[in-house]
A and B are shown apart, each in its own frame.
Chain A
Amino acid sequence: MKELSLNILDIAENSQKAKATLTEIILNETEDTLILEIKDNGTGMSEQTLNCVTDPFYTTRTTRNVGLGIPLLKLAAEQTGGSFKITSKTEGESRGTCVTAVFNKNHIDFTPIGDTVSSIVTLIQGHPETDFLFKHSCNSGEVSLDTRELRGILGEVPLNSYEVIKWIGEYLSEQYENLK
């Protein structure tokens, strides 16, 4: 993947497949590190499955025998001297899956974060019936979006109506502009 934002899009798609109603995408940046957390309240995975997901030759897809999403993100983090963790629960209040990747931003193999706005817009366009919480914080401030809040205003108007999608993209881009 050329940008981490593409890994984010890819991993968050897994949450949709796991029937999550809320997917949280949290980016925390300091001078030297980036912590990415993608957390959902989906069906979760058994311990057995969890042990397999970082193996490229494990996949849920039926069209092919290779699943590269999780291994690619793990590699992107570890190649910067960072770390990768995935936890999951199939029952209880904390049901769901949480993926955490830590990156060394100053490492030569650090993949640029890229266009997060585009990834968030794409996720909402494809999954207007589920909710997303996006937060990207760094030294100069924070960018955030909570579709639950937008849904409260929009009522029956779907989140993937073009006017709404366009507004979300501009709303996020403007927040990023203000960080600079």
Chain B
Amino acid sequence: MKSLAELQAIKDKMKDKVVIREGSGNVRVVVGMATCGIAAGARPVLNTFVEEVNNGGLAEKVTVSQTGCIGICQFEPVVEVYEAGKEKVTYVKMTAEKAKEVVEKHLKGGNVVAEYTIANFKA
């Protein structure tokens, strides 16, 4: 049975970690979570990114956050990846499965998954 005491243990374990995390994280993954995104399936996409980034040991480098409507509702769920010194990458029509692949190939491996980017859909 989960108890609040467990949360206390998490806190004790994390106290030191919080300091380290500050100032790091030069990659930002942003998921569109307005009505259009949510209706198209953004919730599992977001939660997959959160899970995979942490399970893959990328938490120090990558932050996952949410935003409102990006303005291209027909392409939702939309995910943008911002990295210092690089051009923004926009992934469209995302799913949890594609999110896993993006974490593995792009965030971990450094190779953009061109197949899922907006450039590929517009062409």
Chain A positions within 8 Å of B, measured between CB atoms, are 1, 6, 9-10, 13, 17, 61, 63-64, 67-69, 72, 118-119, 121-122, 125-126, 149-150, 153-158, 161-165, 167, 170-171, 174
Contact = CB atoms under 8 A, between A and B. Distances in A.
B11 interface: yes
Interface in B62-93: 64-66, 68-71, 73
B11 A122 contact: no
B33 to A, nearest CB: 6
A9 B69 CA distance: 14
Contact of B43 (A6, A61, A69, A158): A6
Interface of B: 1-2, 4, 6-8, 10-11, 13-15, 18, 33-36, 38-39, 43-44, 46-47, 50, 54, 59, 64-66, 68-71, 73
A64 B36 CA distance: 11
B34 A61 contact: yes
Chief secondary structure at chain A's binding surface? helix
B7 A153 contact: yes
Given A61-B34, A64-B69, A162-B54, A170 B10 contact: no
Nearest to B37: A10
Contact of A9 (B1, B36, B43, B71): B43
Contacts of A13: 33-34, 38, 68
Nearest to A171: B2
A63 B2 CA distance: 43
